[in-house]
């Protein structure tokens, strides 16, 4: 007790710092992961799956429809949640997503740009087993043939 009295200022300050560090380490209101590491699966496009591949994933899927006015056009077993992209980070939604440990989290949007942006944000926040559900998995394949002008040299 005598020791506590002598060092109460120091102990109080250390406690404040400790609380700050714990808040920073566990809070969800900021990114704290290595950007490259958490983007890595997207480099190989291993994070995009079609409905057939989704059926083969282990565990119970959490399927998130990011579109406001579109019903999920795909038939996949799992928990379906309609979460418009603008509220995906609301306290309840982000906790549901980050705490889903029963299986993969699948993001769906008709607009591929939207699902890929949300994927990157959630992934950087530490969401594991996160995929983009799309029937257009070869979206990054060039689909045309360029005909060179033979008169140019």
Partner 1 sequence: MNTRVKFSVGLLCLGFILALLPLSGSRSFNVKPQKLLSEMLGADTYLSVDQVAKFVISEDSSVQIIDLRSPEEFRAINIPGSINIPYSKLLDNDPSSILNNGKSRNIFYSNGDFDSNYTLAIARGLNMKNTFVMKGGLNEWFNTVMNSSFTGERISARENSLFETRSQAKKMFTALNSLPDSLKMKFIQSKHSAAKKLDGGCE
* 30, 56, 71, 99: residue in contact with partner 1 (rule CB under 8 A): 30
Q: Is 110 in the site for partner 1 (CB under 8 A)?
A: no
Identify which of 56, 57, 76, 55 has the alpha carbon closest to the alpha carbon of residue 65: 76
* 45, 50, 72, 74: residue in contact with partner 1 (rule CB under 8 A): 45
Identify which of 109, 100, 127, 110 has the alpha carbon closest to the alpha carbon of residue 28: 127
Provide the 8-state DSSP code for 47: T
Cβ closest to partner 1, residue 75 vs residue 86: 86
At closest approach, how far in Å is the CB of 60 from partner 1? 26
How many other CB atoms are there within 10 angstroms of residue 112's CB atom?
14
- Name 27's bridge partners: none
How far apart are alpha carbons 85 and 104 in whole angstroms? 18
Q: Is 91 in the site for partner 1 (CB under 8 A)?
A: no
Residues contributing to the site for partner 1 (CB under 8 A): 7, 9-10, 13-14, 16-18, 20-21, 24-25, 28-37, 39, 42-45, 48, 85-86, 88-89, 112-114, 116-121, 124-125, 132, 136, 139-144, 146, 148-153
């Amino acid at each position: 007790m005598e020791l506590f009295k002598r060092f109460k200022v120091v102990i109080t300050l250390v406690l404040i710092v400790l609380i700050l560090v714990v808040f920073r380490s566990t809070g969800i209101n900021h990114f704290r992961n290595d950007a490259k590491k958490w983007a890595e699966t997207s480099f190989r496009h291993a994070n995009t799956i079609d409905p057939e591949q989704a059926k083969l994933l282990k565990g119970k899927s959490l399927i998130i429809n990011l579109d406001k006015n579109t019903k999920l056009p795909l038939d996949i077993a799992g928990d379906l949640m309609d979460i418009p992209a603008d509220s995906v980070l609301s306290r309840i939604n982000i906790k549901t997503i980050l705490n889903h440990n029963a299986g993969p989290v699948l993001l769906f949007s008709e607009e591929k740009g939207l699902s890929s942006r949300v994927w990157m944000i959630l992934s950087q926040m530490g969401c594991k087993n996160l995929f983009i559900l799309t029937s257009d998995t070869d979206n990054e394949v060039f689909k045309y043939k360029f005909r060179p002008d033979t008169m140019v040299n």
